[in-house]
Structures are given as structure tokens and as C-alpha cells.
Amino acid sequence: MLGLSGWAVPLGFILMLLSAVLCIIYGIINWNKGYIMTDEEFIQEQAWAEEERKVEETL
């Protein structure tokens, strides 16, 4: 098959093509969805921003 000996190389090519197709489909489905932050992540990010502001004030 295509001058390739054995079954592992053609199987590798087929799996590579399937993974590329799956990545494209995943990208199309999740295009511009953004990131939804949980309440805990939002509180943690606010705490980090406050701490960073305090550090910048002391410099």
C-alpha cells in the first residue's frame, strides 16, 4: 500500500489524519466561545489583582 511496508506506518498515517480532522472539528465547535470563569476563580483573580496593586504601591 503506497510503497509502505508493514501495517504500522499506514495505520500511523490514518491516525494522524483522523486526529487532524478531529482537531479541526473541535476548533470549529469551540470557535470564539471564550472562557467562562467560575466564582472561585473570579475571587482568586480579584485577590491577585489586589495583591499586585499593593506590591506596586510599595515599590
Distance of CA 32 to the CA centre of its chain: 13
Q: Give the per-residue pLDDT at 16.
A: 97
**How far is 52 from 55, CA to CA, in rounded Å?**
5
Helical segments of 1-59, H only:
8-29, 39-58
Q: Give the per-residue pLDDT at 2.
A: 66
- Residue 2 grid coordinates: 503506497
Averaged pLDDT in 10-residue chunks for the chain of 59 residues: 78 95 95 85 94 92
Answering whether pTM is above 0.75, one says: no
